Amino acid sequence: MNRRTSKFLIPFLMLSALLMTLSSCRLDIMTDIMDGYDSNPFLDRKMLGSTRQGDDEITFLLFSDAHLNRKDEDSWAEDNTPYLEDFLLDNIDDYDFVISLGDIEDAGDINAPELHEFLKFFEDNGITYLSALGNHELQSFHERSEWNALYESYGLFGTVGCYTYGDLSIYVTDSTKRIYGRQQLSWLEEAFACDSSRYKIMITHVNTYSGGTFDSSLLFFGTADIAERNEIYRMMTKYGVSVLFNGHFHTGNIRSNHSTYVSEFNAAALHSRELIKSWYTPGYFYTCTIDSSASQLIMDTWKIERGKITEEKSESFALRDGMN
């Protein structure tokens, strides 16, 4: 190695090592994830609604990272919520509820008129809506409790807790700081252990797994504590929580199978702008059907490209059946 090469290579290697360390370090010192809760919020199960009679399927629509009001000079930023609303209105009888995986408003402006209009759409059309909390929701110094109150004011659900619909339990967790925290993990385990629902899934904002097949979520995305990720997968395996849905890493569409009955799916953003490189990307949303006769969750991926919605692919996740 000549002197010129080492001049650049050594700082590069040192910087890479630092980034790798930062991306995987333990952050046990942050234990305030569950501030505001005096007791286990996952034990207080809330019903999302009653299932349709004679229907053994549960269907829901899922999206992440809507980033309302995200703008940029090159006009790459495209708000796809109007197309999502049209799709929902055209198929309003097909879906039992809608799930948002967080980052709903770009600056976390809880008073933004566009945000209130979007939430009012669900209220006006009687569409059940359940939301996780994204890191952008906390950007304007608003607390989780304020977002909980906002959703409640429109008759909607969120942002932490266990929500049930028929045979399904949905655990909504807070990962906005890239960790779950020991309190949240122990409360989750307590709730999983006494949950007799046939099927269980989990939703959160930040991807737990990252860097699979060298995808670029390795740095700065994903849970910051690898021990926590392992703990999540251990509990999912033990208590039959079959799928973990999350967003945050806008490019998304990344599926990680931990075992036959434990998978993580990282959803791509609804919004049409690539996060880091800031160029145009299609927006995505997903429709899911839980088929209890086959104990499967079928997920269809929908792409929105310049306003045109097309179905991209369909895949299935095996569900651990709590009845057996």
Least Å distance between CB 170 and Fe ion? 21
Neighbours of 324 (CB within 10 A): 7
Residue placing its CB nearer to Fe ion in the complex, 138 or 298: 138
Q: Which residue is nearest to Fe ion (CB)?
A: 103
* Chain centroid, CA 216 distance in Å: 18
For residue 36, give both structure tokens: 């505001």
Cα–Cα distances in angstroms (integers) from residue 164 to residues 123, 151, 192, 242, 296, in the given order:
19, 17, 13, 15, 18
Least distance from Fe ion to the Cβ atom of residue 102, Å: 7
Number of chain residues interacting with Fe ion (CB under 5 A)? 2
Chain residues 47-86 in contact with Fe ion, contact rule CB under 5 A: 65
Q: Is the separation of the CB atoms in 319 and 299 below 8 Å?
A: no
CB-nearer residue toward Fe ion: 70 or 200: 70
Helix (H) or strand (E) segment spanning residue 258: strand 254-259
Q: How far is the CB of 100 from Fe ion (least distance, A)?
A: 11
- Cβ of residue 70: shortest distance to Fe ion, in angstroms? 9
For the CB of residue 44, give the shortest distance to Fe ion in the complex, in Å: 28
Give the contacts of 33 (CB within 8 A, at least 6 positions apart): 174, 177, 179, 180, 181, 183, 184
Chain centroid to CA 292: 23
Residue nearer to Fe ion on the CB measure, 78 or 103: 103
Shortest spacing between CB 293 and Fe ion, in angstroms:
36
Cα of 303 vs its chain's centroid, Å: 17
Q: x-or-dash pattern for Fe ion, window 91-130, by CB under 5 A?
A: ------------x---------------------------
Phi, psi for residue 251 in degrees, rounded to 5? -65, -40
Residues forming contacts to Fe ion in the complex (CB under 5 A) are: 65, 103
